[in-house]
Amino acid sequence: MRITDVKVVEAPLTPHMSNAVIDFSRMTVSLVAVHTDAVVDGEPVVGYGFSSNGRYAQTGILTERLLPRLHAADPADLRQSETGVLDPVAVRHVVMADEKPGGHGDRAVAVGTLDMAMWDAASKAQGKPLHEMLRDRFRPDAVLPDSVWVYAAGGYYRQEDDDLRALQQGGCESYPYVFEPFGGFADETPVEEGRVALPDAPGIGIEHKSALRKLIDERLR
């Protein structure tokens, strides 16, 4: 399995979205597509990765430092010797060559975006879900649980209560718990602590620490 090309692009985030610190409408994220010569079920294997919001796109670090090292590497050094499939751990060692160890937030974004794409490509090439591949690689004796807690982000401030409306419309019933914070209202808006329960969706609730219950009720009538 060989890497044939790596595409890097920047994309803007959704406008009119913020949290207590950042206005995401001016923020960008990195997206990476790792093209390979592998084919599964008649489709070429392409791994995709993206950087989460909270830091800006890192095109410079990717294109000026990490990818040149990747392209210069021997393809054999980027594969698992047993399967011939792309080895994301080996790729990370290659792209981090000559980098000083230690914390560096922007570099972590660049490496993490590329790392995500490599794992995506490797799991697709092996024809198994990524969580199974990670278990087999790092904890082969572990038993896969039936369910896990996940953090999917959300609760960003928007001009409209779209998230709240979406929860009311249903579709979250398969999740036993959903936590959704709301805020970003004008400074003169009175503050009231409280929780709004959704009677048609047991286990789902909204905590609004920066909003009046009355204000939310009025918007959702």
Picking from 208, 202, 209, the residue whose alpha carbon sits closest to that of residue 173 is: 202
Q: What is the pLDDT of residue 198?
A: 47
Dist. CA 14–CA 35, nearest whole Å: 27
- pLDDT grade, residue 115 (50/70/90)? very high
SS (H, E, C) the chain: CCEEEEEEEEEECCCCEECCCCEHHHCEEEEEEEEEEEEECCEEEEEEEECCCCCCCCHHHHHHHHHHHHHHCCHHHHECCCCCCECHHHHHHHHCCCCCCCCCHHHHHHHHHHHHHHHHHHHHHHCCCHHHHHHHHHCCCCCCCCCCCCCCCCCCEECCCHHHHHHHCCCCCCCCCEEEECCCCCCCCCCCCCEEECCCCCCEEEECCCCCHHHHHHHCC
Residue 140 has pLDDT above 80, yes or no: yes
Dist. CA 219–CA 187, nearest whole Å: 18
Residue 185 has pLDDT above 60, yes or no: no
Residues ≥6 apart with Cβ < 8 Å to 61 = 106, 107, 109, 110
Superfamily of domain 3-138: Enolase-like, N-terminal domain (3.30.390.10)
Measured in whole angstroms, the distance separating CA 154 from the mean position of its chain's CA atoms is 12
Q: What is the pLDDT of residue 87?
A: 96
Q: What is the mean pLDDT of residues 123-152?
A: 87
Taking the CA atoms of residue 60, residue 61, residue 64 and residue 66 in that order, the dihedral angle to the nearest 10 degrees is -150
- In single-letter form, the type of residue at position 41 comes to D
The answer to which of 8-12, 48-52, 71-75, 202-206 has the lowest mean pLDDT is: 202-206
Q: Phi and psi of 66, rounded to 5°?
A: -75, -50
Q: What's the whole-model pTM score?
A: 0.75
117 or 193, greater pLDDT: 117
- pLDDT grade, residue 171 (50/70/90)? low
Tokens 């210069």 appear where? 72
Average pLDDT, the chain: 79
- pLDDT grade, residue 209 (50/70/90)? very low
Return the domain boundaries, the chain: 3-138, 157-219
The answer to which of 1-10, 118-127, 174-183, 193-202 has the lowest mean pLDDT is: 193-202
